[in-house]
A and B are shown apart, each in its own frame.
Chain A
Amino acid sequence: MTKTILIVDDSATMVLSVKSTLEMNGYKVESAADGALALLALKKGLKPDLILTDVNMPNMDGLELIRNVKALPGFRFTPILTLTTESQASKREEGKKLGATGWLVKPVAGADLLKVIKQVLPGS
């Protein structure tokens, strides 16, 4: 069954690049431009198998998004990966505590991204 991934990033080119990579390799992709829009989509019924989010975004950043998603009914076990330029250890640690599944620092090679997603989503 085709897995769905939600990409959250305020960079349109980043969303387009990752979306193209994932769709080319058999995934269905939805996207949101920031954490607030992503949360709204989830509350409206979007049920992705994985969330791939940037950290530094306007309106709601990635860490806040992780906190909110984990509190949402039905999303406690949804894997969330960050894909970010953020390199501070404190942010990484905070992400881990909030329940992020993994931390990826941009730029990530396409093959590596697919490999990580396959590890996190067995059967994809």
Chain B
Amino acid sequence: MNEDVPVPGPGDPGRLEALCSALAEELKAMQPFLGIMREQLSGAVAESDGAVVEVITRINTVHGLSAAQAERIEQSMRQCLKLVEATREQAGFNREVMGLVRTELDTHGRELAQNLARTRDLNQEVRELRRIVELITDIAGQTRLLAINAAIQATHAGAAGAAFAVVAAEVKTLSARTTGAAREIADKIGRLSERMTGEMALAEAGSGVVEASDRQLRGILEEVEALEARYAEAGGQLQGVLGTLRGSNAEVVAQLTGALGQLQFQDVLRQRLEQVGHGLEDLAGHARELSLSLADGAWEGAGRATLEERLARHAASYVMASQRSAHAQVLGGTKAEDSGPAIELF
């Protein structure tokens, strides 16, 4: 109220005029007041817009970083898997090769054993031969003695024994030759026997080496099989980790998607605040018209929208059930409900 204007007393005829004038001034002052409120609302909407944009930008950044990290980890895991698989395949190949080597060793070992058996048999027969040669030598010795005896007897027989002495001499010669041949055979048999003994020793040593190699190979094969199994297990574990990683990443995306959906509240709030802003603007306009009318000293109601009419226009422009509900809550009336489900496919 303007303090320079004297307030008329109760009986003053100019009182109504003064009151109207004062009221007009107040109504005029409502315009900037309401304008300020509208600006505050606009400012709040703009600030919330900015904040939402920033939040969305951060969410996108988080998603980008998370996706990049997940991709890097997945690439590393895939490379590890490839390496594990290649190593497992190599181990399998080595196992097969060692299996073939063992089979060869088995065959070789069996052949060696057979050769050794044959050599032992042969050695035994050579020993038999020696015995026979000794017998021949013995027989040759006895034959020589007989021949000597026969020569002596032939000498005693005189001329009648001359032919017998010749035979005896021949027998003695034969015996000497037999003894010589038997000695030669015995020498050869001896040398042969020595050689065969040497060969047997070598064959036995070789058989021992084959057995030792087979034992070693068996041991290595078991380790390779165990390694193969461990690589298969590692591969399975890596696959499991990959699966977990993908699941975690999907969960991150789901959570960020949820957060983005929540931000839609800002659009709903903006629309409601904008509606309030329009209402304040309308009210400011109404106050201005009133102040002009009062300043003139007359209220020309005809042709001017009343506050009730303005409010009805606002109500007609509501889009949300929550707006209609708030209106009904103040003025009375049925609380509005949404006209259908929030999500409807036709």
Which A residues are within 8 Å of any B CB, using their own CB? Answer: 11-14, 16-18, 20-21, 24-25, 55-56, 84-89, 92, 96, 100-114, 116, 119-120
Contact assessment for A88 and B319 in the assembled complex, using a CB-CB cutoff below 8 Å: yes
- For the residues of B in contact with A, the DSSP-based class is helix
Instruction: Provide the B264-293 mask, 1 if CB < 8 A to any CB of A, else 0.
Output: 111110110000000000000000000000
Q: Which residues of B contact A110 (CB under 8 A)?
A: 257-261
Q: What is the total number of residues of chain B having a CB less than 8 Å from a CB of chain A? A: 36
Q: Which residues of B contact A16 (CB under 8 A)?
A: 52-53, 56
Q: How far is the CA of A69 from the CA of B94 in the complex (A)?
A: 68
Contact assessment for A103 and B257 in the assembled complex, using a CB-CB cutoff below 8 Å: no
Contact assessment for A20 and B60 in the assembled complex, using a CB-CB cutoff below 8 Å: yes
Q: How far is the CA of A118 from the CA of B115 in the complex (A)?
A: 79
Instruction: Contacts A13-B263, A109-B258 known; list 11 others, CB within 8 Å.
Output: A14-B267, A20-B260, A21-B260, A25-B253, A55-B319, A84-B319, A96-B346, A103-B343, A107-B262, A107-B268, A114-B257
**Number of residue pairs spanning A and B whose beta carbons lie under 8 angstroms apart:** 115
- On whether A13 and B56 interact (CB within 8 A), knowing A86-B319, A107-B262, A110-B258, the answer reads yes
Q: Which residues of A contact B60 (CB under 8 A)?
A: 20, 24
Q: How far is the CA of A88 from the CA of B56 in the complex (A)?
A: 30
B339 within 8 A of A: yes
Instruction: Enumerate 16 A-B pairs (CB-CB under 8 Å) in ascending A order.
Output: A13-B53, A13-B267, A16-B53, A21-B260, A24-B260, A87-B319, A87-B339, A92-B339, A102-B344, A103-B344, A106-B264, A106-B268, A108-B261, A109-B262, A110-B259, A114-B257
Instruction: Provide the B38-58 mask, 1 if CB < 8 A to any CB of A, else 0.
Output: 000000000001001100100
B331 within 8 A of A: no
